[in-house]
Amino acid sequence: MTKVCLVIGAGAGIGGNVGKRFALEGYHTVLCRRSDEEGLQKLVADIEESGGKATGYLLDATKENAIEERVAQVEAEIGPIEVVLFNLGAQVGNRALGDTSYKVFELGWRMATFALFRLASAVCPLMEERGHGTILVTSATAAVRGNAGQHSHAAAMGGRRMLCQSLNAEFAPKGIHIAHILIDGAVDAPDTLGKMLGEEAFQQLREARGQEHDGLMLPEKMAETYFHVSQQHRSAWTHELDLRAFSDLAWWNHAP
Amino acid sequence: MTKVCLVIGAGAGIGGNVGKRFALEGYHTVLCRRSDEEGLQKLVADIEESGGKATGYLLDATKENAIEERVAQVEAEIGPIEVVLFNLGAQVGNRALGDTSYKVFELGWRMATFALFRLASAVCPLMEERGHGTILVTSATAAVRGNAGQHSHAAAMGGRRMLCQSLNAEFAPKGIHIAHILIDGAVDAPDTLGKMLGEEAFQQLREARGQEHDGLMLPEKMAETYFHVSQQHRSAWTHELDLRAFSDLAWWNHAP
Amino acid sequence: MTKVCLVIGAGAGIGGNVGKRFALEGYHTVLCRRSDEEGLQKLVADIEESGGKATGYLLDATKENAIEERVAQVEAEIGPIEVVLFNLGAQVGNRALGDTSYKVFELGWRMATFALFRLASAVCPLMEERGHGTILVTSATAAVRGNAGQHSHAAAMGGRRMLCQSLNAEFAPKGIHIAHILIDGAVDAPDTLGKMLGEEAFQQLREARGQEHDGLMLPEKMAETYFHVSQQHRSAWTHELDLRAFSDLAWWNHAP
Amino acid sequence: MTKVCLVIGAGAGIGGNVGKRFALEGYHTVLCRRSDEEGLQKLVADIEESGGKATGYLLDATKENAIEERVAQVEAEIGPIEVVLFNLGAQVGNRALGDTSYKVFELGWRMATFALFRLASAVCPLMEERGHGTILVTSATAAVRGNAGQHSHAAAMGGRRMLCQSLNAEFAPKGIHIAHILIDGAVDAPDTLGKMLGEEAFQQLREARGQEHDGLMLPEKMAETYFHVSQQHRSAWTHELDLRAFSDLAWWNHAP
């Protein structure tokens, strides 16, 4: 039976590119995203044209049972989930405390922390029974330091990181590899950064820092590291790593 | 008008003792706890017998508007909240992932992360208008490392710490001192450790490690540091510190 | 016999002010600094005029046996060292790798790391025999993150912090309290910041950020926290804490 | 001209295996180790038998100019150093403070911190001129937490990590990739762990935790990750990552 790579949060950036990378290696890639049926089908078509296998679903991760039922259906109908990428962001832009409603704060947690807990609750028993499996978690600088305007995002991502460590402590000895991948910089991703900035500003940023400057993180290059981590031998697993563009300051460095 | 020290989570351990310490310095201490009216009134009586001012309320922090209304009432009827201690724990004991229900996971977040967000949303605008104020946050080892069985607790506390850093980044320049106090060990507290262990085991632990051995953290001694932090001059504020018994291993050290 | 507070690095900033604070509480303060006999005698005179006891010595901490002999002489002639403040800095300004000679790099380590190791080797056996003692270590942001131009400083301070944790692991259970105090900002100290910037720039900084703005850390206020930490009950010791001005960004925060 | 991979610390564990991995990809691997000419020539022969290129040198990294001259000679006679692995350990076993001589403490720094500074001083200008290069640094748990008996090791490794961050801040924007690889567990390496434990205990450990249990880190598997990191696209570099066996506790977790 085909090995499955399930992607929760499969936009045109990290999620889609990691999906493509695993498809290239023979995984049946199951791509899930909240909206944009057209974009989703384009990803599926891209993979199929390259000779890979892919299936796409719209999935609202905050909806009751949406993750749980998708996991069950994929396992029943497509194949065992060998790798899952949890790639949901929860960035709501910079908002002062007074502009951060309870609803926004809770939504951050539902997307960034609770959805991972639900996913882990669904896949870990399956992976544990098989004795192996990989959970790749995209994370953000906000997981390791709070900042002004980041109340919702930082609390949600800080929770995500500590949850990854707890999952690792319980499940690594059972053969499940959990990796917390800290993305410390701007990704050249039209679906997220592009939408946040608007088309024009995004293109300006691409010209100034991206393209031949390599100052924006290229998701197809990041995907190489996601794939590598999933293939590490169990005697030498990475639990935490960071990724940033060579020309960018690390989060702990101020500009001179 | 009397300065108020508001304590959210005023049991017989840290909360009650920090309350007493501030009362001793002339603060009107407002003690809030979820249950045990008798224990609450004993704390109030103890403070009043020592010549201090105290008021006690039962408060279920997870209930809608409970924190917000208490803050408003205290400000209107007792005095300006100069210091608030957020002292709610969210330890649910060691539970494997399979034994951690969605409800338990969410409750951890509601107690440990969201309740602090709500409290901050209520008091920060008041403190900002006055140009000063202090938010003391009791935290736990789980805020800096996950561990097996700690899925709910670590995710909630990790969120708490990142929220404290975000609040600090926005509000320290406005005169509000936020301190994240990491309690890295067992506290000699009958209401929490005592209940978790049961009376007999708690007394055994006290005899083995507590009392003249000073291997359990004494809340009346911890209260000295809470008070000191609240009195730091604004040119020299502490945002993060740890507390542990001299004979205990730091969280990052294994037994040899 | 008088309790002694020994200060290694007693300029007009943190060292001198912590010395004064302990003298005020009845400690015989022994002030050691590398140079400026006049400044040293002024500190001694200030303390004596306030009714305290103080002795001053010039001490080149990088010189063989200088620390070791001073410790022995103080213990023999003045009294038991109850508290020692290790306050040597090793900031050499921003220097690119190509401008950082082997000599400079080694000197950073000799001042910031090795001198603390030598001091600990001298005082720990004495404190261990008495069953108590306190080692306060002034540290810097460079202990927790490297930065451009900080090759010597960061390596030396990173070593200092790990050494503090190692000392804590061995000696805390023996009653010796070691505290790593991370100074995350500019101190209003004429002997260090003043000399680094030059008189004119220092006065401009004071006018812009210091004085009534409280944006420079005031060493006499910082001294309150140093003193508090030394007095913590052994059931509730702090091993690591940070200090910064309320209006300053924490090291982990970028400017917006 | 052949690309060179220079290995400082090329025993039969990580160093030798990383060397083999790069040789397999066409790098001329230059292996340097302090002693055991026979072991060194065996490594060289192994690589040559597999069709790779290798040269071996005995090198005492603590000796004046030894590193600097080797770098110059390799660049002049073999080829440009594209990748350098700094793999010197500085573990001296568990030693109480009283058993840690000044000489041992200084040697730890000379091996673990200063030798890396010297190596970086020698290769960074060359790599900067070429606009690219990779410095892989093997590090240890002691770089992020001190522990009893680890005074020398932790101080040296803490300095190493902060130096890596400083080098990264200055040289990443110039195209030099510096990676700090934290080895958090026991490596199945006869030259280091084997010698530390003695032959018999090492074989017992191998039977209990290694071999089919995969509880000892296999250096040939670790080498895959070292190689991957060196090949990351410059828009997505990792600066810090950890490696441990799946069945081992992370350094931040105590046994339950």
Assign residue A23 the CATH number of its domain: 3.40.50.720
Among chain C residues, CA nearest to A250: C147
Is residue D250 included in any domain, yes or no?
no
Is residue D210 included in any domain, yes or no?
no
Cβ-Cβ contacts under 8 Å for C69 (sequence gap 6 or more):
none
Is residue B151 included in any domain, yes or no?
yes
Contact C165 B252 (CB under 8 A): yes
pLDDT of residue D256: 57
Query: How far B74 CA lies from chain C's nearest CA (Å)?
Result: 27
Instruction: Name the nearest CA neighbour of C227 among C8, C52, C14, C18.
Output: C18
Contact C146 D124 (CB under 8 A): no
pLDDT of residue D226: 98
Whole-angstrom Cα distance, residue A145 to residue A209?
A: 24
Helix, coil or strand: residue C135: strand
Choice among A168-172, A200-204, B215-219, C216-220 with the minimum mean pLDDT = A200-204
A206-214: list long-range contacts, CB under 8 Å, 24+ apart.
A209/A245, A209/A247, A213/A247, A214/A245, A214/A246, A214/A247, A214/D233, A214/D234, A214/D235
Query: How far D85 CA lies from chain C's nearest CA (Å)?
Result: 19
Which residues of D make CB contacts under 8 Å with A? 165, 168-169, 172-173, 175, 177, 188, 214-218, 221-222, 224-225, 228, 231-247, 249-250, 252-253
pLDDT-derived band at A156 (thresholds 50, 70, 90) equals very high
pLDDT of residue C1: 65
Is residue B203 included in any domain, yes or no?
no
Strand partners, D137: D86, D180
Whole-angstrom Cα distance, residue D178 to residue A105?
A: 37
Residue that the structure tokens 């791509």 belong to: A31
Q: Which residues of B touch A118 (CB under 8 A)?
A: 102
Is residue B255 included in any domain, yes or no?
no
Instruction: Name the nearest CA neighbour of D87 among D210, D187, D162.
Output: D187
Whole-angstrom Cα distance, residue B4 to residue B82?
A: 6
Instruction: Name the nearest CA neighbour of C89 among C37, C149, C153.
Output: C153
Task: Choose the mutation target among A67, A86, A95, A97 for the interface with B, i.e. most B CBs under 10 Å.
Answer: A97
Range of the domain at B40: 4-190+218-243
Contact A214 D232 (CB under 8 A): no
Q: What is the pLDDT along chain B (256 residues), one digit of tens a residue?
A: 689 999 999 999 999 999 999 999 999 999 999 999 999 999 999 999 999 999 999 999 999 999 999 999 999 999 999 999 999 998 888 999 999 999 999 999 999 999 999 999 999 999 999 999 999 999 999 999 999 999 999 999 999 999 999 999 999 999 999 999 999 999 999 888 888 889 999 999 999 998 889 999 999 999 999 999 999 999 999 999 999 999 999 999 986 5
Cβ neighbourhood burial of C200 (10 Å; 0-12, 13-18, 19+): exposed
Contact A246 D217 (CB under 8 A): no
Mean pLDDT by 10 residues, chain D (256 residues): 93 96 98 96 97 98 97 98 96 92 97 98 98 98 96 98 98 98 94 88 91 94 98 98 97 83
How would you label C79-117 residue by residue, b for 16+ Cβ within 10 Å and e otherwise?
bbbbbbbbbbbbbbeebebeebeeeebbbbbbbbbbbbb
Q: Which residues of A touch B165 (CB under 8 A)?
A: 145-147, 154
Contact A159 B158 (CB under 8 A): yes
Contact B170 A154 (CB under 8 A): no
* Mean pLDDT, all residues of chain A: 96
Strand partners, B57: B32
DSSP state of D58: E
Question: What size, in residues, is chain C?
Answer: 256
Instruction: Name the nearest CA neighbour of B154 among B169, B144, B163, B162.
Output: B144
- pLDDT tens digit sequence for B216-230: 999 999 999 999 999
pLDDT-derived band at A1 (thresholds 50, 70, 90) equals low
Q: Which residues of D touch C154 (CB under 8 A)?
A: 162-163, 165-166
Cβ-Cβ contacts under 8 Å for D95 (sequence gap 6 or more):
D104, D149, D151, D152
Among chain C residues, CA nearest to B242: C238
Whole-angstrom Cα distance, residue D248 to residue A172?
A: 8
Q: What percent of chain C has pLDDT over 70?
A: 99
Contact C252 A145 (CB under 8 A): yes
Is residue A211 included in any domain, yes or no?
no
Among chain B residues, CA nearest to C213: B235
Instruction: Name the nearest CA neighbour of D177 among D68, D111, D85.
Output: D85
pLDDT of residue D236: 98
Among D173, D222, D240, select the one facing A236 at the smallest CB separation.
Answer: D222
Query: How far C52 CA lies from chain B's nearest CA (Å)?
Result: 24
Is residue D112 included in any domain, yes or no?
yes
Contact B102 A113 (CB under 8 A): no
pLDDT of residue D62: 95
Q: Write out the H or E segment, with its range, that includes residue D137.
A: strand D133-140
- pLDDT tens digit sequence for A12-48: 999 999 999 999 999 999 999 999 999 999 999 999 9
Q: Which residues of D touch B148 (CB under 8 A)?
A: 253, 256
Is residue B64 included in any domain, yes or no?
yes
Contact B256 D145 (CB under 8 A): no
Q: Which residues of D touch B147 (CB under 8 A)?
A: 252-254, 256
Q: Which residues of B touch A100 (CB under 8 A)?
A: 121
Which H, E and C letters describe B84-145, residue by residue?
EEECCCCCCCCECHHHCCHHHHHHHHHHHHHHHHHHHHHHHHHHHHHCCEEEEEEEEHHHCC
Among chain B residues, CA nearest to C172: B246
Q: Which residues of B touch C177 (CB under 8 A)?
A: 246
Phi, psi (degrees; rounded to nearest 5) at A101: -70, 160
pLDDT-derived band at A91 (thresholds 50, 70, 90) equals confident
Amino acid identity, position D239: H
- pLDDT tens digit sequence for C106-138: 999 999 999 999 999 999 999 999 999 999 999
Contact C146 D156 (CB under 8 A): no
pLDDT of residue A163: 98
Query: How far A78 CA lies from chain B's nearest CA (Å)?
Result: 25
Q: Domain count of chain A? A: 1
> What's the longest Cα–Cα distance across chain A?
55
The stretches of C96-246 forming alpha helices (DSSP H) are 102-109, 115-130, 151-171, 195-197, 199-209, 219-231
Radius of gyration of chain D (CA): 18
Count chain A–chain B contacts defined by CB atoms under 8 A: 140
Among C125, C159, C170, select the one facing D159 at the smallest CB separation.
Answer: C159
Amino acid identity, position D216: L
Among chain A residues, CA nearest to C146: A253
- What's the predicted TM-score (pTM) here? 0.97
pLDDT of residue B196: 85
Phi, psi (degrees; rounded to nearest 5) at B236: -150, 70
Contact A148 B166 (CB under 8 A): yes
Residue that the structure tokens 């820092």 belong to: A209
Whole-angstrom Cα distance, residue A168 to residue A170?
A: 5
pLDDT-derived band at A206 (thresholds 50, 70, 90) equals very high
Q: Comparing A210 with C119, which gets the higher pLDDT? A: C119
Whole-angstrom Cα distance, residue D107 to residue D100?
A: 11
Q: Which residues of D touch B253 (CB under 8 A)?
A: 145, 147-148
Instruction: Name the nearest CA neighbour of B227 among C230, C225, C176.
Output: C225
Q: Which residues of A touch B161 (CB under 8 A)?
A: 146, 158
Helix, coil or strand: residue D238: coil
Whole-angstrom Cα distance, residue C205 to residue B139?
A: 36
Which residues of B make CB contacts under 8 Å with D? 94, 144-145, 147-149, 249, 251-256
B neighbour chains, 3+ CB pairs within 8 Å: A, C, D
Q: What percent of chain B has pLDDT over 70?
A: 99
D neighbour chains, 3+ CB pairs within 8 Å: A, B, C
Among D114, D120, D165, select the one facing C97 at the smallest CB separation.
Answer: D120
Amino acid identity, position A250: A
pLDDT of residue C256: 58
The predicted complex's ipTM stands at 0.97
For the residues of chain A, what is the DSSP string, one character each?
---EEEEES--TTHHHHHHHHHHHTT-EEEEEESS-HHHHHHHHHHHHHTT-EEEEEE--TTSTTHHHHHHHHHHHHT--EEEEEE--------B-GGG--HHHHHHHHIIIIIHHHHHHHHHHHHHHHHT-EEEEEEEEGGGT---TTBHHHHHHHHHHHHHHHHHHHHHGGGTEEEEEEEE-S-B--IIIIIHHH-HHHHHHHHHHHSGGG--SB-HHHHHHHHHHHHH--TTSB--EEEEB-TTSPPTT----
pLDDT of residue D97: 98
Q: What percent of chain A has pLDDT over 70?
A: 99
DSSP state of C249: P
DSSP state of B223: H
Cβ-Cβ contacts under 8 Å for A157 (sequence gap 6 or more):
A90, A112, A139, A140, A142, A143, B162
Contact B113 A166 (CB under 8 A): no
Q: Which residues of C touch D105 (CB under 8 A)?
A: 114, 117
Helix, coil or strand: residue D166: helix
Q: Which residues of A touch C252 (CB under 8 A)?
A: 144-145, 147, 251-252
Question: What size, in residues, is chain B?
Answer: 256
